Each structure stands twice: as C-alpha cells, then as structure tokens.
Amino acid sequence: MTTAKDVLVAHISDPHVDSHSPERVRPLRQAVAHLMSLPRRPDVVIVTGDLTEHGEAGEYEQFRGAVAALDMPLYVIPGNHDDRARMQGLFGEQGTHGLPGFMQYQVDAGPLRVLMLDTHVPGEAGGRLDGGRLEWLAERLAQEPERPTLVALHHPPLGSGVQVMDAITLDDPQALERVITAHPNVLRVLCGHMHTTTTQAFAGTVLMTLGGTEGTFLPDLGQPEKFVIQVQPGLCLLHHWRPGAGLTSFTSVIEGGRTLTLYDGQKWAGQ
C-alpha cells in the first residue's frame, strides 16, 4: 500500500437488537446518527459482535434497517448471541481473503487493514479460535508484515476482574497471544462482549474492549463475585491512523445511563 492517506475506523459493539424489546434498537440508531454527525466521518465502521439478542432473522433485519443510514462500508463479526449462518445469509461475503465456513476476513482501509476474527462457538457464551482460525490469522499477518494492522474479535483474551464475565472470555488466549507477539505491526486488538471499556497490555500491543451502543458498564470491582454495574453513556471508539504518526484511538460518547445489578453472586437478573 503506497498511499499516504490517513484513515479513520469507527468501532461499535454489542447492540443486542431484540425482537422482544423493540426499543433496544433505538440506541443503535443513535449510534449511527452519532457517527454520521462527526466532524470527520469514518472511512469504515466495524461491529464486534452480538448484533442481536437471539440471533433471529427478524432481529438481523432490524439491525440492517438501523444501520442503513451509514454512507460508509460496515463490517461485522458474530458474538455469542449471534447466529453465524443467518449473518452470512444477510451480509454475504465481506472483505477479502475470507476463511470458508466462518465470518473471518480482511478489511482493506487504505494503508491500514483490519483482520476480523470469528470467535463464535454455537451454543456457548465463551469464544474460541481453533487451529484453522489461528493459522489464517498468522498467514494474513505474515503476508504483509509491515502493514499497520488492527485485529478485531468479539471475545477478549483478557478479563476485567469480574468473575462471572471473566469465565466467558476467549478460550486459550495464550494461543492468540503467541501469534500477535510475533507480528509487531498489530497496533490494536479490539474486542466487545464485556460491555466495558478497558485498555490493557497484550502480546506486545494494546488491547481495547468497548462498551455496548446502549450503555457502557462500569463494574463495582469491590464485589468481583457479583456483576453490579453503573451504566454509563454508550460509546464508540475512533481509531485514526496517519502516516508518520501511527495510530491514535479516541473515545466518543453516545448517550447516558443508570445503575443496575445484573448478577447478584448467585443468579442473573430476571431469573
């Protein structure tokens, strides 16, 4: 890639469009309106999973309707609440160099690229990158070892200290760590799933998790056996790459929220 053009990648996650709670699509629409109102519009938008709550066909249609106002390319990967086959049927083949059988592919954004990883395991809350998916990642990174790269996946390979959520992160994170460590051109590892915004060191680079479009969970770390949270504004991340300057990541606020106890140490709210 020889162009000197700067690139802005917007990252949103976990909208959980829900056919049983139609109002839950509203924050996604607000997130779309927010992205379209930015003084510099993104060149591409990525969504790191849990597009829907139940993986139902109607929910994906709602999602597609909510993001229709975007005038830039949108790229998605599945989370644990999603249905991979339905997503593939709706969105078709995205990006380039797709891995057969998965929603795992490369996004070319000028001089920058985003490698979108599929950690979905049907019927499980946690995620996995098996040998084939990791081999694909290693091959793509080796193909262009100097090209600035973002790696995006739903399940983070690190926890946040909240026990019930840390139990459903990425299985065998050391395997991913080994691949990333061998490729210093990976500038960020971007995740959803936790509904929290964190920044951590991982594999010689920076790992960032992102809150959902309908709110960002700030957990009460004094009660790690529970999941007591303050719901703060929904967020998006804006990753701006410039030649000679590298990557700068900005946090952009969408809207505000409230305080909830989602897990009391024994059961989830509503059970």
Within-domain flag for 222? no
Number of domains the chain is built from: 1
Longest dimension (CA), the chain: 55
Give the pLDDT confidence score for residue 260 in this predicted structure. Answer: 52
Within-domain flag for 2? no
Within-domain flag for 164? yes
Domain that holds residue 75: 7-217+233-256
Within-domain flag for 223? no
Within-domain flag for 270? no
Q: Which CATH number covers residue 163?
A: 3.60.21.10
pLDDT digits (tens, 9 = 90+) for 204-249: 999 999 999 988 998 888 888 888 888 888 999 999 999 999 999 9
Binned at pLDDT 50, 70 and 90, residue 256 comes out as very low
pLDDT digits (tens, 9 = 90+) for 136-171: 999 999 999 999 999 999 999 998 888 888 899 999
Residue 55 has pLDDT above 80, yes or no: yes
Within-domain flag for 178? yes
Give the pLDDT confidence score for residue 221 in this predicted structure. Answer: 83
Question: What pTM was computed for the model?
Answer: 0.91
Q: How far apart are CA 220 and CA 225, in angstroms?
A: 10
Within-domain flag for 228? no
Give the pLDDT confidence score for residue 231 in this predicted structure. Answer: 87
